[in-house]
Chains A and B, each alone.
Chain A
Amino acid sequence: MRVEQIAVFLENKSGRLAEITRVLAGHNINIRALSVADTADFGILRLIVDKVDEAKRVLRANGFTVGKTNVIAVEVPDKVGGLATVLKTAEEAGLNVEYMYAFVNRSGENAVLIFRFDDMDKAIDALLQAGFTILSGAQVCAL
Protein backbone atom coordinates (compact mmCIF):
# COMPACT_ATOMS: atom_id res chain seq x y z
CA MET A 1 0.00 0.00 0.00
CA ARG A 2 2.94 2.29 0.49
CA VAL A 3 5.56 3.37 -1.97
CA GLU A 4 9.16 3.88 -0.90
CA GLN A 5 10.51 7.27 -1.77
CA ILE A 6 14.07 8.52 -1.62
CA ALA A 7 14.81 12.04 -0.43
CA VAL A 8 18.13 13.73 -1.05
CA PHE A 9 19.43 16.88 0.61
CA LEU A 10 20.47 19.50 -1.93
CA GLU A 11 22.51 22.55 -1.25
CA ASN A 12 21.55 25.48 -3.44
CA LYS A 13 24.49 25.34 -5.78
CA SER A 14 24.72 24.61 -9.44
CA GLY A 15 25.16 21.11 -10.77
CA ARG A 16 23.85 19.14 -7.79
CA LEU A 17 20.70 17.89 -9.49
CA ALA A 18 22.69 17.01 -12.61
CA GLU A 19 25.14 15.07 -10.46
CA ILE A 20 22.36 13.00 -8.89
CA THR A 21 20.79 12.12 -12.23
CA ARG A 22 24.22 11.24 -13.61
CA VAL A 23 24.92 8.87 -10.70
CA LEU A 24 21.52 7.18 -11.08
CA ALA A 25 21.84 6.84 -14.84
CA GLY A 26 25.31 5.36 -14.39
CA HIS A 27 23.75 2.56 -12.33
CA ASN A 28 20.87 2.07 -14.71
CA ILE A 29 18.31 3.31 -12.20
CA ASN A 30 15.12 4.75 -13.65
CA ILE A 31 13.43 7.78 -12.11
CA ARG A 32 9.67 7.32 -12.21
CA ALA A 33 8.64 10.55 -10.50
CA LEU A 34 10.33 13.41 -8.75
CA SER A 35 9.78 16.72 -7.06
CA VAL A 36 12.06 19.36 -5.64
CA ALA A 37 11.13 21.37 -2.58
CA ASP A 38 13.25 24.46 -2.37
CA THR A 39 13.85 27.16 0.19
CA ALA A 40 16.18 30.14 0.03
CA ASP A 41 19.02 28.05 1.44
CA PHE A 42 18.53 24.43 0.51
CA GLY A 43 16.39 21.98 -1.40
CA ILE A 44 15.00 18.51 -0.90
CA LEU A 45 14.80 16.23 -3.91
CA ARG A 46 12.19 13.49 -3.65
CA LEU A 47 12.43 10.57 -6.03
CA ILE A 48 10.52 7.44 -6.85
CA VAL A 49 12.84 5.02 -8.60
CA ASP A 50 12.70 1.41 -9.74
CA LYS A 51 15.61 0.24 -7.54
CA VAL A 52 15.20 1.99 -4.20
CA ASP A 53 17.90 0.36 -2.11
CA GLU A 54 20.50 0.52 -4.85
CA ALA A 55 19.70 4.17 -5.51
CA LYS A 56 20.12 4.95 -1.85
CA ARG A 57 23.43 3.10 -1.69
CA VAL A 58 24.99 4.70 -4.78
CA LEU A 59 23.89 8.22 -3.85
CA ARG A 60 25.24 7.80 -0.36
CA ALA A 61 28.50 6.47 -1.79
CA ASN A 62 28.71 9.68 -3.81
CA GLY A 63 28.51 11.81 -0.71
CA PHE A 64 24.82 12.71 -0.62
CA THR A 65 22.62 12.68 2.46
CA VAL A 66 19.80 10.29 1.60
CA GLY A 67 16.64 9.42 3.47
CA LYS A 68 13.93 6.89 2.76
CA THR A 69 10.27 7.61 3.49
CA ASN A 70 6.95 6.08 2.65
CA VAL A 71 4.42 7.87 0.51
CA ILE A 72 1.02 6.96 -0.90
CA ALA A 73 0.43 6.76 -4.66
CA VAL A 74 -3.21 7.32 -5.61
CA GLU A 75 -4.39 6.70 -9.14
CA VAL A 76 -7.18 8.95 -10.40
CA PRO A 77 -8.67 9.52 -13.84
CA ASP A 78 -6.79 12.32 -15.61
CA LYS A 79 -9.70 14.70 -15.82
CA VAL A 80 -11.01 17.88 -14.21
CA GLY A 81 -11.50 17.48 -10.48
CA GLY A 82 -9.38 14.38 -10.09
CA LEU A 83 -7.13 15.87 -7.41
CA ALA A 84 -10.02 17.71 -5.78
CA THR A 85 -11.85 14.49 -4.95
CA VAL A 86 -8.80 13.05 -3.18
CA LEU A 87 -8.22 16.25 -1.22
CA LYS A 88 -11.88 16.38 -0.21
CA THR A 89 -11.60 12.89 1.25
CA ALA A 90 -8.40 13.85 3.07
CA GLU A 91 -9.99 16.97 4.46
CA GLU A 92 -13.05 15.11 5.69
CA ALA A 93 -10.76 12.63 7.46
CA GLY A 94 -8.90 15.51 9.14
CA LEU A 95 -5.66 14.73 7.37
CA ASN A 96 -2.90 17.20 6.59
CA VAL A 97 -0.85 17.01 3.42
CA GLU A 98 2.85 17.41 4.22
CA TYR A 99 3.60 17.53 0.50
CA MET A 100 2.44 16.08 -2.79
CA TYR A 101 3.37 15.82 -6.43
CA ALA A 102 1.86 14.16 -9.47
CA PHE A 103 2.58 12.62 -12.81
CA VAL A 104 0.50 11.28 -15.69
CA ASN A 105 0.97 7.69 -16.82
CA ARG A 106 2.03 6.69 -20.31
CA SER A 107 -1.42 5.98 -21.66
CA GLY A 108 -2.49 9.42 -20.51
CA GLU A 109 -5.73 8.10 -19.05
CA ASN A 110 -4.80 8.24 -15.40
CA ALA A 111 -2.82 10.54 -13.18
CA VAL A 112 -0.78 9.29 -10.24
CA LEU A 113 -0.76 11.50 -7.15
CA ILE A 114 2.03 11.02 -4.64
CA PHE A 115 1.14 12.08 -1.09
CA ARG A 116 2.81 12.39 2.21
CA PHE A 117 0.18 12.82 4.94
CA ASP A 118 0.74 13.54 8.60
CA ASP A 119 -1.05 10.28 9.48
CA MET A 120 -0.30 7.71 6.81
CA ASP A 121 -2.32 4.78 8.25
CA LYS A 122 -5.42 6.89 8.64
CA ALA A 123 -4.91 8.23 5.11
CA ILE A 124 -4.77 4.76 3.58
CA ASP A 125 -7.95 3.72 5.41
CA ALA A 126 -9.81 6.85 4.40
CA LEU A 127 -8.78 6.66 0.74
CA LEU A 128 -9.61 2.94 0.43
CA GLN A 129 -12.95 3.48 2.08
CA ALA A 130 -13.71 6.26 -0.39
CA GLY A 131 -12.94 3.83 -3.18
CA PHE A 132 -9.64 5.22 -4.49
CA THR A 133 -7.02 3.01 -6.12
CA ILE A 134 -3.79 2.96 -4.17
CA LEU A 135 -0.75 1.70 -6.06
CA SER A 136 2.20 -0.29 -4.75
CA GLY A 137 5.79 0.62 -5.53
CA ALA A 138 6.01 -2.08 -8.17
CA GLN A 139 2.82 -0.84 -9.79
CA VAL A 140 4.09 2.72 -9.89
CA CYS A 141 7.28 1.62 -11.60
CA ALA A 142 5.43 -0.61 -14.05
CA LEU A 143 3.17 2.17 -15.27
Chain B
Amino acid sequence: MMRVEEIETLPRAGLESIQLKRLQALVHRVYDKVAPYRAKMDEAGVRPGDIRSLADLRRLPFTTKDDLRDNYPFGLFTVPMDDVVRVHASSGTTGKPTVVGYTAADISMWADVMARALAMAGVTRGDMVHNAYGYGLFTGGLGAHYGIERLGATVIPVSGGNTKRQITIMRDFGSTVLLATPSYALNLADAMADVGVLPEELKLRVGIHGAEPWSENMREEVERKLGIRAVDIYGLSEVIGPGVAMECLETDHGMHILEDHFLPEIVDPETFEPLPPGEPGELVFTTLTKEAFPLIRYRTKDLSRLIAEPCPCGRTLIRMEKVTGRTDDMLIIRGVNVFPSQVEHVLMGIEGVEPHYQIEVNREGNLDTMSVLVEVSERIFSDEVRQLEALTRRIQAEIKDLLGVTCAVRLVEPRTIKRSEGKAQRVIDNRRI
Protein backbone atom coordinates (compact mmCIF):
# COMPACT_ATOMS: atom_id res chain seq x y z
CA MET B 1 0.00 0.00 0.00
CA MET B 2 0.98 3.58 -0.55
CA ARG B 3 2.93 5.27 2.17
CA VAL B 4 2.46 8.87 3.25
CA GLU B 5 4.64 9.95 6.16
CA GLU B 6 2.95 11.84 8.94
CA ILE B 7 5.44 14.65 8.61
CA GLU B 8 4.31 15.24 5.03
CA THR B 9 0.78 16.18 6.10
CA LEU B 10 1.54 18.23 9.22
CA PRO B 11 -0.08 21.65 9.47
CA ARG B 12 2.45 24.23 8.25
CA ALA B 13 3.06 25.59 11.76
CA GLY B 14 4.09 22.15 12.99
CA LEU B 15 6.44 21.59 10.08
CA GLU B 16 7.94 25.06 10.43
CA SER B 17 8.70 24.57 14.11
CA ILE B 18 10.60 21.38 13.24
CA GLN B 19 12.44 23.25 10.50
CA LEU B 20 13.40 26.07 12.88
CA LYS B 21 14.78 23.71 15.54
CA ARG B 22 16.83 21.90 12.93
CA LEU B 23 18.04 25.17 11.39
CA GLN B 24 19.18 26.53 14.75
CA ALA B 25 21.09 23.35 15.54
CA LEU B 26 22.68 23.40 12.08
CA VAL B 27 23.83 27.00 12.33
CA HIS B 28 25.41 26.42 15.73
CA ARG B 29 27.15 23.32 14.45
CA VAL B 30 28.66 24.82 11.30
CA TYR B 31 29.68 27.97 13.16
CA ASP B 32 31.55 25.88 15.70
CA LYS B 33 33.04 23.33 13.34
CA VAL B 34 33.70 24.89 9.93
CA ALA B 35 36.11 27.82 9.70
CA PRO B 36 34.94 29.09 6.29
CA TYR B 37 31.32 29.25 7.51
CA ARG B 38 32.37 30.99 10.72
CA ALA B 39 34.40 33.54 8.76
CA LYS B 40 31.49 34.31 6.44
CA MET B 41 29.02 34.66 9.30
CA ASP B 42 31.39 36.90 11.25
CA GLU B 43 31.83 39.04 8.18
CA ALA B 44 28.05 39.31 7.79
CA GLY B 45 27.75 40.19 11.48
CA VAL B 46 25.44 37.32 12.34
CA ARG B 47 25.81 34.96 15.30
CA PRO B 48 24.14 31.55 15.63
CA GLY B 49 21.93 32.96 18.43
CA ASP B 50 20.48 35.53 16.01
CA ILE B 51 18.43 32.87 14.23
CA ARG B 52 15.18 33.10 16.21
CA SER B 53 12.67 32.44 13.44
CA LEU B 54 12.69 31.00 9.93
CA ALA B 55 12.50 34.60 8.68
CA ASP B 56 16.00 35.11 10.13
CA LEU B 57 17.32 32.69 7.53
CA ARG B 58 17.82 35.63 5.19
CA ARG B 59 20.44 37.06 7.55
CA LEU B 60 22.78 34.14 6.83
CA PRO B 61 25.32 34.43 4.00
CA PHE B 62 24.86 32.38 0.85
CA THR B 63 27.03 29.43 -0.08
CA THR B 64 28.02 29.14 -3.74
CA LYS B 65 29.80 26.71 -6.00
CA ASP B 66 32.86 28.98 -5.67
CA ASP B 67 32.92 28.27 -1.93
CA LEU B 68 32.96 24.55 -2.72
CA ARG B 69 35.80 25.05 -5.16
CA ASP B 70 37.79 27.21 -2.73
CA ASN B 71 37.52 24.51 -0.08
CA TYR B 72 38.15 21.58 -2.44
CA PRO B 73 37.97 18.73 -1.74
CA PHE B 74 36.86 18.30 1.88
CA GLY B 75 37.20 21.77 3.43
CA LEU B 76 33.49 22.26 4.12
CA PHE B 77 32.97 18.89 5.78
CA THR B 78 31.90 19.26 9.41
CA VAL B 79 32.96 15.83 10.63
CA PRO B 80 36.34 14.04 10.76
CA MET B 81 37.00 11.91 7.68
CA ASP B 82 36.74 8.84 9.91
CA ASP B 83 33.00 9.52 10.09
CA VAL B 84 32.60 9.98 6.34
CA VAL B 85 31.49 6.72 4.76
CA ARG B 86 31.02 7.84 1.17
CA VAL B 87 31.87 10.62 -1.26
CA HIS B 88 30.27 11.53 -4.57
CA ALA B 89 31.38 14.13 -7.09
CA SER B 90 29.97 16.18 -9.92
CA SER B 91 31.44 18.67 -12.36
CA GLY B 92 32.91 21.86 -11.01
CA THR B 93 33.26 25.00 -13.09
CA THR B 94 36.94 24.34 -13.84
CA GLY B 95 39.10 21.27 -13.79
CA LYS B 96 38.21 20.25 -10.25
CA PRO B 97 35.02 18.37 -9.44
CA THR B 98 32.58 19.34 -6.69
CA VAL B 99 32.95 16.79 -3.91
CA VAL B 100 30.25 15.88 -1.42
CA GLY B 101 30.50 13.60 1.60
CA TYR B 102 28.10 11.51 3.67
CA THR B 103 28.14 10.02 7.13
CA ALA B 104 26.32 6.74 7.78
CA ALA B 105 23.41 8.82 9.12
CA ASP B 106 23.42 10.93 5.94
CA ILE B 107 23.23 7.81 3.79
CA SER B 108 20.33 6.61 5.90
CA MET B 109 18.52 9.98 5.70
CA TRP B 110 19.09 9.99 1.92
CA ALA B 111 17.57 6.51 1.66
CA ASP B 112 14.59 7.80 3.66
CA VAL B 113 13.93 10.85 1.53
CA MET B 114 14.42 8.84 -1.66
CA ALA B 115 12.01 6.16 -0.39
CA ARG B 116 9.46 8.88 0.41
CA ALA B 117 9.96 10.35 -3.05
CA LEU B 118 9.34 6.94 -4.63
CA ALA B 119 6.22 6.54 -2.51
CA MET B 120 4.93 9.85 -3.91
CA ALA B 121 5.05 8.20 -7.34
CA GLY B 122 3.05 5.28 -6.00
CA VAL B 123 5.97 2.88 -5.72
CA THR B 124 5.46 0.15 -3.09
CA ARG B 125 7.18 -2.97 -1.72
CA GLY B 126 5.61 -4.99 -4.48
CA ASP B 127 7.38 -3.13 -7.27
CA MET B 128 10.27 -4.26 -9.45
CA VAL B 129 12.30 -1.09 -9.94
CA HIS B 130 14.56 -0.81 -12.98
CA ASN B 131 17.24 1.70 -11.96
CA ALA B 132 18.91 2.94 -15.14
CA TYR B 133 20.59 5.95 -13.53
CA GLY B 134 24.38 5.70 -13.71
CA TYR B 135 26.11 4.12 -10.72
CA GLY B 136 29.36 5.73 -9.67
CA LEU B 137 30.52 9.16 -8.65
CA PHE B 138 27.24 10.52 -9.99
CA THR B 139 24.66 10.51 -7.18
CA GLY B 140 21.78 9.30 -9.37
CA GLY B 141 22.33 5.53 -9.41
CA LEU B 142 23.34 4.84 -5.81
CA GLY B 143 21.02 7.50 -4.38
CA ALA B 144 17.99 5.93 -6.01
CA HIS B 145 19.25 2.42 -5.20
CA TYR B 146 19.31 2.89 -1.43
CA GLY B 147 15.87 4.54 -1.52
CA ILE B 148 14.39 1.62 -3.43
CA GLU B 149 15.80 -0.83 -0.91
CA ARG B 150 14.64 1.32 2.01
CA LEU B 151 11.13 1.29 0.59
CA GLY B 152 11.31 -2.47 0.37
CA ALA B 153 10.81 -2.70 -3.37
CA THR B 154 13.09 -4.86 -5.52
CA VAL B 155 15.87 -2.94 -7.20
CA ILE B 156 17.42 -3.96 -10.51
CA PRO B 157 20.74 -2.07 -10.45
CA VAL B 158 21.09 -2.03 -14.22
CA SER B 159 22.81 1.40 -14.45
CA GLY B 160 23.17 3.09 -17.86
CA GLY B 161 24.04 1.67 -21.28
CA ASN B 162 23.59 -1.64 -23.08
CA THR B 163 20.10 -0.67 -24.15
CA LYS B 164 19.12 -3.99 -25.75
CA ARG B 165 19.96 -5.92 -22.60
CA GLN B 166 17.94 -3.41 -20.60
CA ILE B 167 14.88 -4.17 -22.75
CA THR B 168 15.33 -7.90 -22.25
CA ILE B 169 15.65 -7.41 -18.49
CA MET B 170 12.58 -5.16 -18.32
CA ARG B 171 10.53 -7.75 -20.17
CA ASP B 172 11.85 -10.90 -18.50
CA PHE B 173 12.06 -9.54 -14.93
CA GLY B 174 8.72 -7.74 -15.20
CA SER B 175 10.00 -4.28 -14.28
CA THR B 176 7.13 -2.09 -13.09
CA VAL B 177 8.99 1.15 -12.41
CA LEU B 178 11.65 2.78 -14.58
CA LEU B 179 14.20 5.24 -13.20
CA ALA B 180 16.14 6.97 -15.97
CA THR B 181 16.95 10.36 -17.40
CA PRO B 182 14.05 11.41 -19.66
CA SER B 183 16.26 11.25 -22.73
CA TYR B 184 17.38 7.73 -21.88
CA ALA B 185 13.75 6.71 -21.31
CA LEU B 186 12.97 7.87 -24.86
CA ASN B 187 16.03 6.09 -26.12
CA LEU B 188 14.79 2.87 -24.51
CA ALA B 189 11.35 3.40 -26.08
CA ASP B 190 12.84 3.85 -29.55
CA ALA B 191 15.13 0.86 -29.11
CA MET B 192 12.10 -1.22 -28.10
CA ALA B 193 10.37 -0.22 -31.32
CA ASP B 194 13.50 -1.18 -33.26
CA VAL B 195 13.65 -4.67 -31.80
CA GLY B 196 9.89 -5.10 -32.00
CA VAL B 197 9.05 -5.14 -28.28
CA LEU B 198 5.63 -3.60 -27.66
CA PRO B 199 4.90 -1.56 -24.51
CA GLU B 200 2.10 -4.06 -23.79
CA GLU B 201 4.71 -6.80 -23.37
CA LEU B 202 6.15 -4.91 -20.38
CA LYS B 203 4.66 -4.42 -16.96
CA LEU B 204 5.97 -0.87 -16.67
CA ARG B 205 3.55 1.41 -14.89
CA VAL B 206 5.45 4.51 -13.92
CA GLY B 207 8.66 6.28 -14.93
CA ILE B 208 10.63 8.57 -12.61
CA HIS B 209 12.75 10.94 -14.61
CA GLY B 210 15.18 13.68 -13.68
CA ALA B 211 18.83 14.81 -13.72
CA GLU B 212 18.30 16.87 -16.86
CA PRO B 213 15.79 19.45 -18.09
CA TRP B 214 12.75 18.11 -19.89
CA SER B 215 9.55 19.60 -21.19
CA GLU B 216 5.87 18.71 -21.00
CA ASN B 217 6.18 17.58 -24.63
CA MET B 218 8.86 15.11 -23.65
CA ARG B 219 6.70 13.89 -20.81
CA GLU B 220 3.84 13.20 -23.22
CA GLU B 221 6.22 11.41 -25.57
CA VAL B 222 7.62 9.19 -22.80
CA GLU B 223 4.10 8.40 -21.56
CA ARG B 224 2.80 7.61 -25.04
CA LYS B 225 5.76 5.55 -26.23
CA LEU B 226 6.16 3.48 -23.06
CA GLY B 227 2.51 3.44 -22.04
CA ILE B 228 3.34 4.69 -18.53
CA ARG B 229 2.79 7.60 -16.22
CA ALA B 230 5.97 9.74 -16.21
CA VAL B 231 6.83 11.89 -13.18
CA ASP B 232 9.53 14.40 -12.41
CA ILE B 233 12.17 14.10 -9.70
CA TYR B 234 14.62 16.80 -8.62
CA GLY B 235 17.91 16.66 -6.82
CA LEU B 236 21.46 17.85 -6.95
CA SER B 237 24.56 16.30 -5.49
CA GLU B 238 25.49 19.34 -3.39
CA VAL B 239 22.19 19.15 -1.53
CA ILE B 240 22.17 15.33 -1.39
CA GLY B 241 21.41 13.82 -4.80
CA PRO B 242 18.06 12.56 -6.05
CA GLY B 243 15.27 12.86 -3.51
CA VAL B 244 15.21 16.59 -2.84
CA ALA B 245 11.81 17.06 -4.50
CA MET B 246 9.33 14.79 -6.23
CA GLU B 247 6.10 15.03 -8.15
CA CYS B 248 3.17 13.11 -6.70
CA LEU B 249 0.61 11.28 -8.81
CA GLU B 250 -2.22 13.69 -7.96
CA THR B 251 -0.80 16.69 -9.76
CA ASP B 252 1.44 17.30 -12.72
CA HIS B 253 2.29 20.76 -11.54
CA GLY B 254 5.25 20.96 -9.23
CA MET B 255 7.35 18.65 -7.10
CA HIS B 256 6.97 18.33 -3.34
CA ILE B 257 10.15 19.41 -1.60
CA LEU B 258 11.21 17.13 1.26
CA GLU B 259 11.08 20.24 3.40
CA ASP B 260 11.76 18.65 6.75
CA HIS B 261 15.30 18.04 5.42
CA PHE B 262 15.79 20.65 2.71
CA LEU B 263 14.65 24.20 3.39
CA PRO B 264 13.94 26.02 0.12
CA GLU B 265 13.99 29.69 -0.78
CA ILE B 266 13.56 31.54 -4.04
CA VAL B 267 15.72 34.64 -4.38
CA ASP B 268 15.92 37.35 -6.98
CA PRO B 269 18.82 36.30 -9.23
CA GLU B 270 20.18 39.86 -9.28
CA THR B 271 19.52 41.34 -5.85
CA PHE B 272 19.48 37.96 -4.02
CA GLU B 273 16.53 39.20 -1.96
CA PRO B 274 14.15 36.38 -0.93
CA LEU B 275 10.94 36.29 -2.96
CA PRO B 276 7.49 35.08 -1.86
CA PRO B 277 5.96 31.84 -3.22
CA GLY B 278 4.77 32.21 -6.77
CA GLU B 279 7.59 34.53 -7.82
CA PRO B 280 10.17 33.10 -10.21
CA GLY B 281 13.81 33.23 -9.18
CA GLU B 282 16.89 31.25 -8.18
CA LEU B 283 16.34 28.21 -6.01
CA VAL B 284 18.32 28.19 -2.76
CA PHE B 285 18.56 25.28 -0.33
CA THR B 286 19.62 24.89 3.27
CA THR B 287 20.17 21.28 4.33
CA LEU B 288 18.61 20.93 7.76
CA THR B 289 19.79 17.48 8.80
CA LYS B 290 22.89 16.57 6.83
CA GLU B 291 25.96 15.83 8.94
CA ALA B 292 29.07 15.51 6.82
CA PHE B 293 28.45 18.21 4.29
CA PRO B 294 25.68 20.58 5.32
CA LEU B 295 24.95 23.63 3.22
CA ILE B 296 23.56 26.94 4.33
CA ARG B 297 21.64 28.89 1.70
CA TYR B 298 23.26 27.12 -1.23
CA ARG B 299 22.57 28.91 -4.49
CA THR B 300 21.66 26.19 -6.99
CA LYS B 301 21.57 28.52 -10.02
CA ASP B 302 18.44 26.65 -11.04
CA LEU B 303 15.47 28.87 -11.89
CA SER B 304 12.12 27.81 -10.47
CA ARG B 305 9.16 29.00 -8.45
CA LEU B 306 7.61 27.79 -5.21
CA ILE B 307 3.95 26.73 -5.13
CA ALA B 308 2.29 27.16 -1.72
CA GLU B 309 -1.25 26.09 -2.73
CA PRO B 310 -2.43 22.85 -1.09
CA CYS B 311 -1.99 19.73 -3.17
CA PRO B 312 -4.86 17.29 -3.80
CA CYS B 313 -2.65 14.50 -2.41
CA GLY B 314 -2.95 15.97 1.07
CA ARG B 315 0.75 16.64 1.55
CA THR B 316 1.45 20.04 3.06
CA LEU B 317 5.01 20.08 1.72
CA ILE B 318 5.59 23.10 -0.52
CA ARG B 319 6.08 22.38 -4.20
CA MET B 320 8.66 23.66 -6.69
CA GLU B 321 7.93 24.11 -10.33
CA LYS B 322 9.91 22.20 -12.95
CA VAL B 323 13.27 23.95 -13.34
CA THR B 324 12.94 26.35 -16.23
CA GLY B 325 16.54 27.37 -16.73
CA ARG B 326 19.86 28.33 -15.19
CA THR B 327 21.31 31.59 -13.98
CA ASP B 328 24.74 30.52 -15.23
CA ASP B 329 25.97 28.90 -18.42
CA MET B 330 25.96 25.31 -17.16
CA LEU B 331 24.77 22.78 -19.72
CA ILE B 332 23.47 19.33 -18.97
CA ILE B 333 24.57 16.86 -21.62
CA ARG B 334 23.18 13.35 -21.21
CA GLY B 335 22.82 13.95 -17.48
CA VAL B 336 26.36 15.31 -17.06
CA ASN B 337 26.93 18.90 -15.97
CA VAL B 338 29.14 20.78 -18.39
CA PHE B 339 30.49 24.27 -17.90
CA PRO B 340 31.92 26.10 -20.92
CA SER B 341 34.79 27.16 -18.64
CA GLN B 342 35.83 23.49 -18.40
CA VAL B 343 36.10 23.22 -22.16
CA GLU B 344 38.12 26.42 -22.20
CA HIS B 345 40.38 24.98 -19.51
CA VAL B 346 41.14 21.98 -21.75
CA LEU B 347 41.78 24.10 -24.84
CA MET B 348 44.07 26.52 -23.01
CA GLY B 349 46.14 23.58 -21.85
CA ILE B 350 46.97 22.57 -25.42
CA GLU B 351 49.96 24.34 -26.88
CA GLY B 352 49.00 26.78 -29.63
CA VAL B 353 45.25 26.40 -29.33
CA GLU B 354 43.59 29.78 -29.11
CA PRO B 355 40.65 30.23 -26.82
CA HIS B 356 38.32 30.87 -29.71
CA TYR B 357 35.83 28.10 -29.36
CA GLN B 358 32.14 27.48 -29.36
CA ILE B 359 30.05 24.67 -27.95
CA GLU B 360 27.19 23.48 -30.08
CA VAL B 361 24.56 21.27 -28.47
CA ASN B 362 22.05 19.36 -30.52
CA ARG B 363 19.49 16.70 -29.84
CA GLU B 364 19.79 13.91 -32.36
CA GLY B 365 16.94 11.50 -31.91
CA ASN B 366 16.70 11.47 -28.14
CA LEU B 367 20.32 11.92 -27.30
CA ASP B 368 22.15 15.15 -26.73
CA THR B 369 25.32 15.66 -28.72
CA MET B 370 28.01 18.21 -28.07
CA SER B 371 30.36 19.61 -30.66
CA VAL B 372 33.26 21.87 -29.85
CA LEU B 373 34.24 24.24 -32.62
CA VAL B 374 37.84 25.40 -32.44
CA GLU B 375 39.29 28.11 -34.63
CA VAL B 376 42.44 27.05 -36.43
CA SER B 377 45.27 29.47 -35.76
CA GLU B 378 48.55 29.41 -37.67
CA ARG B 379 50.26 27.93 -34.64
CA ILE B 380 48.24 24.73 -34.80
CA PHE B 381 47.67 24.60 -38.53
CA SER B 382 49.53 21.99 -40.51
CA ASP B 383 49.52 21.14 -44.19
CA GLU B 384 49.21 17.48 -43.16
CA VAL B 385 45.76 16.00 -42.51
CA ARG B 386 47.32 13.56 -40.06
CA GLN B 387 48.52 16.33 -37.76
CA LEU B 388 45.19 18.13 -37.68
CA GLU B 389 43.32 14.90 -37.04
CA ALA B 390 45.70 14.07 -34.20
CA LEU B 391 44.94 17.47 -32.71
CA THR B 392 41.17 16.99 -32.85
CA ARG B 393 41.53 13.54 -31.31
CA ARG B 394 43.64 14.95 -28.50
CA ILE B 395 41.14 17.70 -27.70
CA GLN B 396 38.35 15.13 -27.78
CA ALA B 397 40.20 12.79 -25.43
CA GLU B 398 41.06 15.53 -22.94
CA ILE B 399 37.48 16.79 -22.84
CA LYS B 400 36.29 13.21 -22.31
CA ASP B 401 38.83 12.81 -19.49
CA LEU B 402 37.84 15.98 -17.69
CA LEU B 403 34.11 16.16 -18.31
CA GLY B 404 33.18 12.55 -18.93
CA VAL B 405 31.34 13.53 -22.08
CA THR B 406 32.20 12.40 -25.58
CA CYS B 407 32.08 15.31 -27.98
CA ALA B 408 32.85 15.97 -31.61
CA VAL B 409 35.65 18.44 -32.27
CA ARG B 410 35.37 20.52 -35.40
CA LEU B 411 38.13 22.75 -36.66
CA VAL B 412 36.84 25.96 -38.19
CA GLU B 413 38.36 28.92 -39.99
CA PRO B 414 39.46 31.95 -37.99
CA ARG B 415 36.76 34.48 -37.12
CA THR B 416 34.05 31.91 -37.86
CA ILE B 417 32.84 32.11 -34.29
CA LYS B 418 30.70 35.18 -33.95
CA ARG B 419 31.85 37.85 -31.57
CA SER B 420 29.06 39.96 -30.24
CA GLU B 421 30.14 43.17 -28.54
CA GLY B 422 33.67 41.87 -28.49
CA LYS B 423 32.65 38.79 -26.53
CA ALA B 424 32.29 35.44 -28.23
CA GLN B 425 29.05 33.56 -27.92
CA ARG B 426 30.27 30.39 -26.27
CA VAL B 427 27.23 28.18 -26.44
CA ILE B 428 24.73 27.47 -29.18
CA ASP B 429 22.06 25.22 -27.74
CA ASN B 430 19.85 23.93 -30.53
CA ARG B 431 17.89 21.54 -28.34
CA ARG B 432 14.16 22.04 -28.27
CA ILE B 433 13.39 21.05 -24.74
Contacts and interface: CB of A to CB of B under 8 A. Distances in A.
Contacts of B388: 39, 42, 44
Nearest to B411: A42
Interface of B: 376-378, 381-386, 388-389, 392, 410-416
B370 to A, nearest CB: 15
Given A5-B383, A46-B383, A67 B413 contact: no
User: Mostly helix, strand, loop or mixed at chain B's interface?
Assistant: loop
B385 A44 contact: yes
A41 interface: yes
Interface range on chain A (Cβ under 8 Å from partner): 20 to 34
Given A39-B389, A65-B377, A66-B378, A9 B411 contact: yes
Given A9-B413, A41-B411, A67 B385 contact: no
B381 A7 contact: yes
Given A9-B376, A39-B389, A67 B412 contact: no
User: Mostly helix, strand, loop or mixed at chain A's interface?
Assistant: strand
Contacts of A41: 392, 410-411
A66 B413 CA distance: 10
B378 A65 contact: yes
17 contacts: A7-B382, A9-B411, A9-B413, A11-B412, A41-B411, A42-B376, A42-B388, A42-B411, A44-B388, A63-B413, A63-B415, A65-B381, A66-B378, A67-B382, A67-B383, A98-B386, A99-B385
Contacts of B377: 65
Contacts of B386: 98
A65 B376 CA distance: 7
B416 A98 contact: no
B383 A44 contact: yes
Contact of B413 (A5, A11, A37, A39): A11
Contacts of B382: 7, 44, 67
Contacts of B411: 9, 11, 41-42
Contacts of A65: 376-378, 381, 413-414
Given A9-B411, A44-B383, 13 more contacts: A7-B383, A11-B412, A11-B416, A39-B389, A41-B392, A41-B411, A44-B384, A46-B383, A66-B378, A66-B381, A69-B383, A98-B384, A99-B385
A116 interface: yes
Nearest to A63: B415
Interface in A57-75: 63-67, 69
Given A9-B376, A39-B389, A64 B384 contact: no
Contacts of B412: 11
Contacts of A46: 383
B353 to A, nearest CB: 13
